[in-house]
Structure formats: C-alpha cells, structure tokens
Structure 1
Amino acid sequence: MHERNRIYLGLMISSIVILLLLQVAWLRSVNRGQKAAFRQETSLLLKSTVTALMDSLFLKDLRPSGFPPLPGIGRPDSMMNGMVWSDTTRIIHIDFIGDSSKVKEANDIHPANIQRIRVISGRSAEAADSLKINLRPLVQGVDTLKSVNSFIFRLNEETVNADVVQEAFNEVLRNNALPTTAKIRKARRHEQFEELTEKTIILEEVPVPPGSKIQAYFEDVEGFFWRNLLPHLVFSLLVLGFIGGSLLIMYRNMIKQQQLNLLKNDIISNITHELKTPVATVSLVLESLENFSAKDQPETRKEYLQIAKNELKRLTSMTEKILNSTVHGQRSGAHMEPVDLEKLVKENVNTLKPILESEGFDFELDQKGVAFVVQGQAEQLSMVIFNLLDNAIKYSKETKKIKVTLSEQGNFVSLSVEDKGIGIPEGYQKEIFGKFIRVPQKDIHDVKGYGLGLAQVAEVVKAHGGKISLESQIGQGSVFTIKLPKS
C-alpha cells in the first residue's frame, strides 16, 4: 500500500510540475506577444511622428505673398534651369537634372533628379495643406531611392534633429499611455548602429532624407511588461493553486480513507476480544471460587459472585450497544440524577479487582474532599470510569501502577486516572478522542480494541457538561482527567 501511495504521490507531483511548466511557457508566450505588439505600435507611432515633423518643415518654409524671389543657387553644369509651377497662391521652384522641355508638371520629374525645392506660398491654411499634399509624393519618392548620392534635397537648409524627434516621440507615447523613456539615435543610411543590450527594445529604422536614418529604442521597460503581465500571472497562480490544492486534498483524503479502512478492518478482528473481556473476568471469578470453600468464606463467595454478575451485565450492555449502533453518542433527553463518583469508582475497581490482583498491579485511590456528587447518568459515567481504568490496565506493561484521584475543585469534581504505561505520542493526543482512532504500537500485538472507548468517553463527558484532558509522554505513562459540574 505504501508503494502504491508513493506512485500516486509521484503522479500528482508530476502533474503539478507539468502544469507549472505549461503555465511558464504560456506566460513567456504572452510576454513575447506583448513585446511584439508594443514594438509594432511604437514603430507606427515613430513613423507618424517623423512624418509629422517633416510636414512641419514644409510648413515652416511657407512665405507670405509678395516675398522676394529666392536667390539662385550654384549647381553643376549638367543641372537644368529647373521648373516653376505657380498659381495664385503659391510658387514652387524645383531644380532638377534633365530636360526641362519634357517636364510639364511636378509629377513628371523623377525623384532621383531633384536637387532643391523652393516654395513661396500664400498665408492661408488651405494653401499650406494643399502644398503639403502635393509635395509629399515627391519626398516619399526620394526616400525610396536606393542610391543616396544621386540627389540633394533640402528644405531651407534644415534637417530632422534626433533630439527634436525624441521629444516629440515621447510626447506621443505619453498621450498613448506608453513608456516615455524612448531614445533616438541618428546615422547615415550606410552606417550601422552600435549594438545594444539584449533587454533593449529596438524599433524599426525610419529613413530621413537626404540619406539619413533614425532609430528609436527603449531601455529599462521590463517593469511596464510585468505590469501588463500581472493579470495573467495572477490567473496562472490561481489555476495552479486551485489544481494543486485539489490534488493535495484528494491525496490526504485518500490516505485518511485508507487509514479508516485499516481501522475498520481491525474492528472485525478485535471486537471479539473486547467482548471476551467480561467473559474472561467471569471465568477468573469462577476459577477463584473453586479455590475457596463457599461454606468457610461466604463473604468472599458473595463478593466474587457480585463481580461475575456485574461483568455479565456489562457484557449484555456492550453487545446491545454494538448491535444497535449506540456507540455514536449518548441519546438526547436521557434522565439525569445525582450520582456519587466515589461510589462508581469503587464499584469499577471491585469489578476489575481480580484482573488487578492476578496481573500484580499496585492500585491507589486518593480522595481530596468529601462531596463528589454530580448530576448525570450512573450507567454512562460508570462506563467512562471503566474505560479509563481498562485502558490503564491494557497499556501498562513494565511498571504496573495505577492511581485514581478524586478531588473537589470549586464547583467541579475532578477525576484523574494515572498510569505508568507506554504513553501516547504527541501527534495523536489531539485525535485520540475521535472515533475509530487507535495509536499504532510496533511492539504491542496483544492489546485489542476497536477505537471507540475514548471517543465514547469524550462524548459522555461533553454531554454531562464536563471536560476531558490528557497529559502523556512516551514511556512515562498517561494521565486522563475529567471535570464534571457538581450536582
């Protein structure tokens, strides 16, 4: 059975470990997904930020109506005179390389041939928006060129500054409730950026004309991802705790069920011994009577016959209780009356006297007080005393000494039964008053019982408004003490 339990325990632990690994894999997958989504979202925000900054550079180059013509610029001999596209609100001057006679509109100019764009525009916002819409395709076309040395593109000599992009980008991130720790670095398109740490989140490069690129990266943003991962982590822990706790409860219940089955099986083999105890006492009484002459010692004969009658009465009562399952507690509504505990103790001691004498017990009765009357049922309280004395006899193997103490304690009567037997382990002292509980004894095989005596004792004492306690040490013996309210 122990081997099978170890297999069950191993399977449960393996299941929990596998579940834990699956949870870790799932959390890592969620974390990777969050980082990918973060990288994608911030990359789009970076591109839109750069585009907005480029548009702002166009708008900065707009001039009021009547602004003096832009001065000419030096250009190579191969550069054509350029093209002027104008209407009532703006003038766009595009210097380019090629045959100007073939160019009728700005869209006819290949982006690779553009050298400079100069703009003179009106004051209206509508004109500025229209200008931005018309120039954007040209700028985007320049950005897509593979050759970086085939053109020169300037907007009033201004270029995109990394610090400006960083400030604008972090502002956009703040508006979107994202970490505002982005850093921007800029390089020529043919140059490589320096390597960063593994935990750094690096965004896609964004080309910036003419011939540059910028890159955004995030450092120390693990806390942001952990905060987003916290609900998933809590859910995983709850699932793991629920399943692990369920398996643990199932295992503990299985162990308790096995123990209960063993104890119940022990009842079947030991209950006959419990019933034989009164029979053995009667047999011992009859054997003792054979050694005495009834005519010479009538008092002894009378005493022994009374013991036999009491034992037969107890045997009948025990059999009825087992058959009728009355071992589960005292019936409600039982009649209570004044009961003298001193008298009950002496009666039970006399009942067990043949066993005490035959096994060589040293018995002592100590009385501290004069009034030991309580309110209760004599039969039930007699059963309590008998069980405590019977246990003291059973578990006293080397030092055979039993001491019963009756004392008055205020409004209570205290009865303690002390033996010098094998004792009860500390781990079982709280459970000893439960039903079908027997303490395992490796070196004792002849002590029989079915684990109902102390359970019944505890229930009877509780029904009488009293308390029962235990003090015990292994190898030193045990002291059972009951306190009952006075009548």
Structure 2
Amino acid sequence: MKIDRTYIFVTLSSIALLLVLAIQVNYLLNTAQIKEQLFNEKANMVLDRTALALSNDTATIKNFSLMGSENETKKIDSLFNHFLKIYNFHIDYYFELKTLSAANSLQIPNVSSKSEKPVEDLKIGTIKNTNEEEAGCYQTCLPAEGGGDKMELKLVLPDKAQFIRAEMGVPFITSVLLILLVLVMSWRTIMSLLKEKKISEHTTDFLNNMTHEFKTPLTNIALAGRMMLRENNVAREEKIKHYSGIILEENDKLRLQVEQVLSMTALERGEIPLQKKELDLHELISHSLKCMGLQIEHNDGNVNIQLDAEHFEIMGDKNHLTNSLCNLVDNAIKYSGNKLELSVRTYNAGTNLVVIVSDKGIGIDKEYQKKVFEKFFRVPTGDIHDVKGFGLGLAYVQKIIQMHDGNIELQSKKGEGTTFTITLPYV
C-alpha cells in the first residue's frame, strides 16, 4: 500500500503543533505558580515583620489584652500599612487579632483598611464579603504580655487572584497571541499544502487526459497521411479527398480542444469580455441542438424539446451561451452510452428564465456531485479512458452562466440520469 507523504507531513505537523501548544500552556501554568509563590512570600514577610513589631510594642499588646480598643486597631493597621509600603505591595487588605485562650477570646472582627498607595491607586472604602477562592489568608502567633495567652494575627488579602492575574498580564497576553499566531499560520500552511496537492492531482489528471485526447487525432492524421502516399494514380483523387477530410476533421478537434483550454484560462483572468446583446434563447437552444445533430444521430439519440417559457429574451453573449449549451448536450451524449435520451425544457419562474437539460444516462455518484463544476475534475472511471474530455466543460459552463448573472444546479442519481437547471434573468 502506497503511503501518502503529504498526509504524513500534515499528521506530524499537527502533532508538533499540539506539543508546542502544550509547552506554551505549561509555561503559563508555571508562570502563574511562580507569581503565586512570590506573592505568598511577600505576604508572609509583611505579616512576620508586623507581628515582630507588634510583639515588641508591649503597650499595645497590654491594652489589647485588657480591652481591645479602637486605638490598638489603628496602631496595628498603621504597622501593616508601613510594611506593605516597604515591600511595594499595593493591595487591599484587612486583619484580625485575637487571643487563643479558650476561656477568654477577644477579637477585632473583620477590621478593614486600605494601604496608603499613591492617590491614583488607592481609596478608602468599607469591607465587602470576601471570596475565599480569590483571597489569600495568612496567620501567625505572638506571645501576650507577661507570658499570658498567645495571640493570633491574621492578614487577609481579598484580591490575591486578581493581583496575580494583573502581574501576569504581559506574559499571558504575549503567550495567547503567540498561540493564536501559531494556530493561524499552521492552519494556513496545512490548507495551502492540501490545496497544492489537489492542484497537482488535477494537473496530473489533465495531462493524462490531454495525452489521450490528442493521441487519437494525431494517430488518425498520421494514418491518413501514410495512406495518401500509398495510393496509386487511378483512385488517387477520390482517396485524397477522403483522407483530407479526415485530416481536417481531426485538426478541428485538436483546435477546439486547445481553444477550450485557452478560453477557460482567459475567462478566469477576465481577459475575454462578454459581447452581450438581446438574444432569443429558444432560437439559441434550437441552434445548439442543430450543431450537435450529427453526434446526437450517431448515438441514436432521442431529443424531447418543450419550450414553454413565455419570456425567452435575455441579454447575453451568443457564442459563449451557445458553447455552454453544446457542452451540456455533449456531456449528456458522453454519459448516455449507446442510446441517448435527452430532454430540453424551458419555463418562467418569477423574473427568471429557467432552462432544464436532462438525460437518462449513467448518472453521477452523490460524493462527486459537488466537484463536477471544478476545473479539471472528471468523475473517476478507474484506469479506463472511455469518456473523453479535459474536465473543463462544466467549469466553463458555470463560469459563463455566472457572468450572465445566473446560476446552474445539478441533480443526479446513479443509474438514472442527470439534470442541469440553468436560471437566467430575462429581459
């Protein structure tokens, strides 16, 4: 089994991309952990230094043990505020100091303060309910005056999570942008690669089809030329006319095939402007069927024509619309086998003229129906080149119809036939 190197490359690239994303996410998580560790260290240092200063302030400890007055609350608040400034820690906080005696516990419940930051950063406010998941809570013990009950000093930083996120702002945004950039560039690269692979496959198919298409006319021309050289003088004139006819016929086939390729390329580049004028589409349909008459007759064809549209004048390019109709008829002939059953019908729908071209041929599998209008696409038939063409006919038809402000749709069922519905605005 042949391994497609393109899909291997895409798979490996996708795996590499996932690894890069995993590394980037891991980097963000590690950065968050480091920021949290630094935050905790700062908070503990502020708490420890405040506790040390408080334990050395015997008057404050004594007064708190006796009554827990408001003055002691302000004193503790000023200590926290002082050490927060020293560590450049600008964050809202509140604290609690209480004895650890089971019999007598004095508390300063939910005493709150704001650090004295610059005016633009700080404000005085009341305490709000603290989200435990967002807050940081730190506590330590200090002895009471005279060897009495121990005391617990608690520091609560309600905006811990928000503070850490703010600290991570630059690396976080940078990482997200890098991840998005890698995703977009990788997606563009993979899509471009798959598109190039598809173009390469179409090019290969086109070259193979072109080889088959050119092979028969060239062989016939060469054979006719050799036969002309071998003819004797008796029947030479009559034979020359016959073989010359073959040469001219095959030459016309080659010319038309080359023109089809060049016309499609020119249309895509916008190098062929349409020569629009008012046309009788019914007359155009009759003319197209007449041009395809020999091929229809050769395939023992039966054509059913129902031109029911009351408004059949359109603004269009006669040559390109004729070629488009001929392409649809030719497509029906190619895929109808030995017996052609062709139906052409018109009717009006609103302000539009609808043309339906249907056959009872081999039909098209559902998986290929969306691709039949792609340039160079031909319904796979294995290695048998039993249907001629470059895969340009339907792409050309769709392009011409769209340039006439119309659209074309396909309905087909395998083994039952194919129907093309063209909608064009009438005059």
Normalising by the smaller structure, the TM-score range is 0.5 to 0.7
Per-residue deviation, 1:460: 1.9
Residues 1:378 and 1:200: Cα distance change in structure 2 (over 3 Å): closer
Whichever residue aligns with residue 249 of structure 1, its letter is: R
Three-state SS of the structure 1 residue aligned to 2:4 is helix
Residue among 257, 273, 294 paired with 2:196: 257
Residues 1:251 and 1:389: Cα distance change in structure 2 (over 3 Å): same
Residues 1:335 and 1:158: Cα distance change in structure 2 (over 3 Å): closer
Aligned to 1:131: none
Correspondence 1:378 to 2:318:
yes
Aligned to 2:307: 367
Equivalent runs, 1:157-168 vs 2, <5 Å: 158=65, 168=76
Per-residue deviation, 1:463: 2.8
Looking at structure 1, the residues matched to 14 and 6 of structure 2 have their Cα atoms a distance apart, in angstroms, of 12
Three-state SS of the structure 2 residue aligned to 1:465 is coil
Correspondence 1:391 to 2:331:
yes
Aligned to 1:425: 366
Aligned-pair Cα RMSD in Å: 4.8
Q: Deviations over 1:418-475 (max 9, x none)?
A: 134322536752x543433445556975334333222221222233333323334455
Contact 2:307–2:346 (8 Å) recurs in 1: yes
Aligned to 2:210: 271
Looking at structure 1, the residues matched to 191 and 79 of structure 2 have their Cα atoms a distance apart, in angstroms, of 58
Aligned to 1:356: 296
Correspondence 1:247 to 2:186:
yes
Looking at structure 1, the residues matched to 334 and 376 of structure 2 have their Cα atoms a distance apart, in angstroms, of 17
Per-residue deviation, 1:326: 3.5
Looking at structure 1, the residues matched to 163 and 384 of structure 2 have their Cα atoms a distance apart, in angstroms, of 64
Per-residue deviation, 1:246: 1.6
Aligned to 2:46: 45
Q: Deviations over 1:18-68 (max 9, x none)?
A: 21221232122212222222112212321343355456643x6xxxxxxxx
Looking at structure 2, the residues matched to 178 and 223 of structure 1 have their Cα atoms a distance apart, in angstroms, of 11
Residues 1:187 and 1:448: Cα distance change in structure 2 (over 3 Å): farther
Aligned to 1:4: 5
TM-score where L is the length of structure 2: 0.65
Correspondence 1:335 to 2:275:
yes
Per-residue deviation, 1:263: 0.5
Rg comparison, structure with higher value: 1
Per-residue deviation, 1:400: 5.0
Contact 2:368–2:379 (8 Å) recurs in 1: no
Q: Deviations over 1:302-356 (max 9, x none)?
A: xxxx9x9999767534434546753536645543344333333333334434443
Residue among 357, 362, 376 paired with 1:436: 376
Residues 1:432 and 1:464: Cα distance change in structure 2 (over 3 Å): same
Aligned to 1:28: 29
Residue among 387, 405, 415 paired with 1:465: 405
Three-state SS of the structure 1 residue aligned to 2:189 is helix
The answer for unaligned runs of 5 or more in structure 2 is 102-133, 222-244
Residues 1:315 and 1:156: Cα distance change in structure 2 (over 3 Å): closer
Looking at structure 2, the residues matched to 354 and 279 of structure 1 have their Cα atoms a distance apart, in angstroms, of 22
Three-state SS of the structure 2 residue aligned to 1:423 is coil
The answer for unaligned runs of 5 or more in structure 1 is 61-153, 189-198, 283-305
Per-residue deviation, 1:9: 2.4
Aligned to 1:447: 387
Equivalent runs, 1:168-187 vs 2, <5 Å: 168=76, 172=80, 178=91, 180=93
Residues 1:254 and 1:424: Cα distance change in structure 2 (over 3 Å): same
Whichever residue aligns with residue 204 of structure 2, its letter is: N
Residue among 322, 345, 365 paired with 1:405: 345
Contact 1:330–1:459 (8 Å) recurs in 2: no
Q: Which moved more, 1:21-30 or 1:174-183?
A: 174-183
Per-residue deviation, 1:259: 0.9
Looking at structure 1, the residues matched to 402 and 5 of structure 2 have their Cα atoms a distance apart, in angstroms, of 40
Looking at structure 2, the residues matched to 203 and 272 of structure 1 have their Cα atoms a distance apart, in angstroms, of 83
Paired residues, what number? 359
Residues 1:213 and 1:205: Cα distance change in structure 2 (over 3 Å): same
Per-residue deviation, 1:257: 0.5
TM-score where L is the length of structure 1: 0.58
